[in-house]
Structure 1
Amino acid sequence: MTPEATWLFAPGNTPHRFAKAAAAGADAVVIDLEDAVRPEDKDTARAETLRWLTGGGRAWVRVNAAGTPWFEADVDAVAGASGLLGVLVPKAEDPASLAALSARLPPGTPVVALVETAVGLHRVHDVAAAPGVTRLAFGSLDLAADLRSDETGEAMLFARAAIVLASRVAGLPAPIDGVTTVIHDADEVTAAARYARSLGFGGKLCIHPAQLAPATRGLAPSADDIAWAREVLQAADGSAGAVTGADGRMIDKPVLDRARAILRP
């Protein structure tokens, strides 16, 4: 199966938006019990989420972080819900905690670990290898706040590279990049997704349906990428070793592997 590319959040205390999110065309819908919900609304959000997941709705759920006053109740509520597709864990730092969470969920329930703190980034390889973790995601806004840094591409480059590397070493799918805060600037969303893809990410968190189409464009191979890949494969057709393409560049196995990956459905 191709890993989900676009992940759309819907706040847990806005049940009128659940169905709209499900119909918006995202690869994955995430009902959010964490950042999008004020402390005084946590119980309501949890109850509305459970009502949706047991009434025919299907979604992922971002629970509150381990160690918060709401984590245990969140897990208890969603663990047995028939419509639960998987769990996103914010502030993922402790492999043992992730393994314990996975053990409380139905067997095979996917767990996405959000790496968004200095400690989580420091332990990213252990987090990626934790039992039950099926994918990593990046919380760039939270990490920038924790590091007291900017949230620019340059400032976050090390973190993104580390998350991509840890995912690959652990045999996980390409990770999911964080949100872009601008909503209605399609070009900016596409550029952010394209930049993440260039570093090895395979998905993006979205906060509004308007971001889905531009994020999908940015995560997909560009027309130039596709044209290059076709030229490479045509130049190497039937060759048993390295060849030289029309542009004078060497084409060997790594180049062919990249070309095939670009054209793979």
Structure 2
Amino acid sequence: MPANRPERFGKAVAAGPDLVVLDLEDAVPVEAKAAARESAVEWIAAHQDVELLERAHPRLELRVNAPGTPWLADDLAAVAAIPEIRLRVPKVESAADVHRVLEQVPSAQITALIESPLGLERAFEIATADPRLVAVALGEADLRSSLGVDGSEGLAWARGRLVSASRAAGLGAPMMSVHARVDDVDGLRQTCAEGRALGFVGRMAIHPRQLATIVECFTPSAVQVAAAAELLAALDAAGGVVVLPDGRMVDPAMIGRAREVVALAREIELRP
């Protein structure tokens, strides 16, 4: 949500996402950044614990301006007094970028956006920079431009690299970047399927109308959940390699994925 549109903040929360990001960076013109910063910081400070947020259960993040820009210092100074503020830091290219932000806002939790080839090459270094870094994600528009690629095919390796770095760092499955065409439901569904196949769970959205499709695409099907539950039950009973009635040979190496499928389905079922 662009931070220069404060009249829409409450609507974003009420749409029922798991995460709302107020953006001070690319979505805000230079001449509006100071006012947007004031609006966003004031709103986050006032609404972290209100009834609306408790009911909808979204996390709040503030996407600050990028390292090296003239606005980042003011962004960080404005949020320094907010306890446990979650910051989405764009264009991160090194662990040092993460450290510099945390030196100024020690209580923050960081999501690092990787948007350049250099950042991608250092993805694991960034993902393990500090325990207060809780997620990594791709900024695909900038990354496409930097890599000189179009379409999902050109980003397949980058997406897989990001998933691997996130998992290796113990951060779990990352979320996909946005699908920028709001009315392109078929494209959204197709690219969600591609991301899910690569190991992503969930996705950022730029409009509430995208949320239902995203949830649908990343929710395990009833067949998948039943198969995972059957696998877990069979392995629990056998204690080793077992052949299921449908001919699948499974072993303990498959337990982790099956548990994730069952847990994700349960988490989505329990959402408000």
CA displacement at 1:258 relative to structure 2: 2.0
Residues 253-264 of structure 1 mapped to structure 2, 5 A cutoff: 253-264=252-263
For residue 103 of structure 1, what is the aligned residue in structure 2? 103
For residue 21 of structure 2, what is the aligned residue in structure 1? 30
Count of equivalent residues:
253
1:17 aligned to 2:8? yes
1:139, 1:177 within 8 Å by CA — same for their partners in 2?
A: no
Percent of paired sites with the same residue: 40
For residue 6 of structure 1, what is the aligned residue in structure 2? none
For residue 52 of structure 2, what is the aligned residue in structure 1? none
CA separation in 2, counterparts of 1:85 and 1:62?
11
1:217 aligned to 2:208? no
Post-superposition CA distance 1:178-201 (Å, at most 9, x none) = 100121344432332232222111
| 1:94 alignment partner AA | S
1:136 aligned to 2:136? yes
1:207 aligned to 2:206? yes
For residue 168 of structure 1, what is the aligned residue in structure 2? 167
1:192, 1:218 within 8 Å by CA — same for their partners in 2?
A: no
For residue 63 of structure 1, what is the aligned residue in structure 2? 64
CA displacement at 1:234 relative to structure 2: 4.6
- Larger RCO (CA within 8 A; separation ≥ 6): 1
Matched residue of 1:93: which SS?
Answer: coil
Post-superposition CA distance 1:74-94 (Å, at most 9, x none) = 111122235x64000100102
Matched residue of 1:18: which SS?
Answer: helix
CA displacement at 1:251 relative to structure 2: 1.0
| Unmatched segments (≥5 aa) in structure 1 | 1-9
Cα RMSD after superposing both structures: 1.8
When the two structures are superposed, what TM-score results if normalisation uses the length of structure 2?
0.86
Are the structure 2 counterparts of residues 237 and 66 from structure 1 closer, same or farther at C-alpha, using a change threshold of 3 Å? Answer: closer
2:138, 2:159 within 8 Å by CA — same for their partners in 1?
A: yes
Post-superposition CA distance 1:118-175 (Å, at most 9, x none) = 111011111111123211011111100111111x222111101111111111111211
| Unmatched segments (≥5 aa) in structure 2 | 50-59, 267-272
2:37 corresponds, among 36, 46, 58, to: 46
Matched residue of 1:206: which SS?
Answer: coil
CA displacement at 1:255 relative to structure 2: 2.3
When the two structures are superposed, what TM-score results if normalisation uses the length of structure 1?
0.89
Matched residue of 2:7: which SS?
Answer: helix
Residues 76-115 of structure 1 mapped to structure 2, 5 A cutoff: 76-81=77-82, 85-107=85-107, 109-115=108-114
CA separation in 1, counterparts of 2:126 and 2:209?
32
